Amino acid sequence: MKQERARLSKTLHRTHGICDRRNEPRVPVDVRLMYSAQDEENELITGDGSVVDLSNRGLRIHGNVAVRSGLEVTLFLYLPDGRDPLLVMSAKVTWSRGHAFGVEILKMNVRERNRLRYFLGTNLPR
């Protein structure tokens, strides 16, 4: 009985997949961006790079300056619409591996939010 219980728990443990926390589809993009933040010593961090994928709630970035998980950043996305950069006033770094990191969008004004939605709506794969 003990052996069977131990074998069953090991089998159940192996069957769990990785949880994807995304609530919305990501659009693969290649959009330039700049980002800035203040670290725990109040030093200014600035970097640039590209957005790899994008949704209404978050994005994945490949930057030239590494950031740590939990950091709050400001983003400027250069969408291919020829307008001024799209401003994300506040985003939280949710994961970081080297110069790649993911952020959750926390704060945008209504105009910028609508611009992002329009961009995503016109670029979603059919």
Mean pLDDT value across residues 61-82: 96
d(CA 61, CA 101): 5
Q: Percent of the chain scored above 70 by pLDDT?
A: 79
In a domain, 106, yes or no: yes
| pLDDT at residue 7 is higher than 60 | no
d(CA 91, CA 114): 17
**CATH code, domain carrying 52:** 2.40.10.220
| pLDDT at residue 38 is higher than 50 | yes
In a domain, 62, yes or no: yes
The reported pLDDT for the residue numbered 24 is: 67
In a domain, 84, yes or no: yes
Angle ∠(119,97,50) on CA atoms, nearest 5: 30
Q: How many domains does the chain have?
A: 1
d(CA 112, CA 24): 18
The reported pLDDT for the residue numbered 13 is: 37
Structural domain boundaries enclosing 96: 24-123
Q: Percent of the chain scored above 90 by pLDDT?
A: 71
